[in-house]
Amino acid sequence: MIPQPAINRLCNLFQLLVEMEHAGKFTASSSELGENLGIGAHNVRKDISYLGGMGTSGTGYDITKLKALIGDRFGFKDQKRACVVGLGRIGSALLQHAQIAGSEFFVVAGFDTNINKIETIKTSVDVFPAYQINEIVKKMKIEIGIVTVPVSGAQETVERLIDGGVRGVINFAPVHIKVNKSGVIIKNIDIAGELRFLSALINEQNN
Amino acid sequence: MIPQPAINRLCNLFQLLVEMEHAGKFTASSSELGENLGIGAHNVRKDISYLGGMGTSGTGYDITKLKALIGDRFGFKDQKRACVVGLGRIGSALLQHAQIAGSEFFVVAGFDTNINKIETIKTSVDVFPAYQINEIVKKMKIEIGIVTVPVSGAQETVERLIDGGVRGVINFAPVHIKVNKSGVIIKNIDIAGELRFLSALINEQNN
DNA sequence: TAGATTGTTAATCGATTAACAATC
DNA sequence: TAGATTGTTAATCGATTAACAATC
């Protein structure tokens, strides 16, 4: 059982390794990796040790092997299908963006309650009315839902996604979502909240 | 010295209180607040106690007073000026969005290296070429920078913002930014990273 | 070999949870 | 008063840091 913060750091490490590999590097030491991630070398080694470890004393880590170790463990090889619900400014930005990110995630569908918006929107991704969420998620075997609807619609939207069979949700609405089905994970991203947090931290420094 | 996780939760609590007040509620107990935040009542009381506490035994908390207590402590009353650098899909969405969010943050300027983009973009917010970051941030007394440039430009962008006098940065580029000036806070939001993290968590459950 | 760097154990640190006396 | 709920102290839990023997 790997602690969540460690899983998170290992995800960041994975991304760093992708970039390093791309840049033509072959090996890296824990201190070099730590520097690039903004954490201690200890921490890097400790995190990697949760996966069993595979570094070479005196030399460091083989970038390609380490990347594979993390990727295998967390299932980063398989493509993952996602959908976006709520095609406002951020939603429609993500509808395009998520494919690009060079990541293993593909946005394969978009949803909105507003029929006009559905007809207007210019995108290569198929777009459907919100009442079809359940049906389409099932049909397309979508694993992850990205929710960018207003607070008032978030809970219901997530429930429909879960009914459709989604395993995880990224929720941009600033509300806590209640989940009854076990095994479903919700991750919140709250941009206004982060701004507020940042501003609180700045304020705290001044006293 | 309030622990950071507590500050974060108090920010969420603040937002909840705004909504509750808006809904016409006057008091709330720690258990009710906790339920809405997805945390324990213990935790709510503990967090509030960092601010000195002000609940009434047997009755709970006065929503308006509690909101004021948090807001005063973290400086949420004053309007904060922010700018967005990098007017891609997400950047230009934020250029509009951040004002709306009903928050105390105002986006007062946008920047991009691409001159064409600057001329094309439709927005009520003033938009400038990136080389003017330092100058404009100083002139407009912008406190917070929101960075949505590609990884390759992120470090330099943040440095320019800090030179201009920004106190905090929200960075959407998936890189760790090095800061030399003390008192400046960087918060990362990595959407692709969150997707990866989510997918790793889902994967971990299956074993 | 000598220098570098890993993996792991033990020690520290900090936050969350629990419990309860105090209070409205 | 009796019931409800706070604020705080103490106990638990978990993660990070430090240190070092093992290894290439």
Task: State residue B130's pLDDT score.
Answer: 97
How confident is the model at residue A96, as a pLDDT? 80
- Is B191's CB within 8 Å of A4's CB? no
Are A201 and B185 in contact (CB < 8 Å)? yes
Q: What is d(CA B91, CA B38) in angstroms, rounded to the nearest whole number? A: 30
- In 3D space, the residue among A125, A23, A25 whose CA is nearest the CA of residue A65 turns out to be A25
Chain A's closest residue to B99, CA to CA, is: A192
Residues in A 47-86 whose C-beta is less than 7 A from nucleic strand D are 56-59
Q: What is the pLDDT of residues A29-67, one digit of tens each?
A: 999 999 999 999 999 999 999 998 789 999 999 999 999
Classify B76 as helix, strand or coil: coil
Nucleotides of C under 7 A from a protein CB: 2-9, 14-19, 22-24
Give the per-residue SS3 of B94-125: HHHHHHHCCCCEEEEEEEECCHHHHHHCCCCC
Spatial distance from the CA of A15 to the C1' of D19 (Å): 30
B80, B88, B132: which is closest to B108 by C-alpha? Answer: B80
* Residues of chain A with confidence (pLDDT) below 50: none
Q: What angle do CA B28, B31, B36 make, to 5 degrees?
A: 80
- For residue A203, the chain B residues in CB contact (below 8 A) are 73-75
Tell me the residue type at A75.
G
Tens digit of each residue's pLDDT, chain B (207 residues) = 899 999 999 999 999 999 999 999 999 999 999 999 999 999 999 999 999 878 899 999 999 999 999 999 999 988 899 999 999 989 999 988 766 566 788 999 999 999 888 888 778 899 999 999 999 999 999 999 999 999 999 999 999 999 999 999 999 999 999 998 989 999 999 999 999 999 999 999 876
pLDDT at A86: 97
Residue-level pLDDT at B102: 62
Structural element, H or E, at residue B61: strand B61-62
Q: Which helix (H) or strand (E) holds B19?
A: helix B4-22
Mean pLDDT over the full length of chain A? 93
Taking an 8 Å cut-off on Cβ atoms, the answer to whether A7 and B197 are in contact is yes
Say how many C-beta atoms besides its own lie within 10 A of residue B74's C-beta: 22
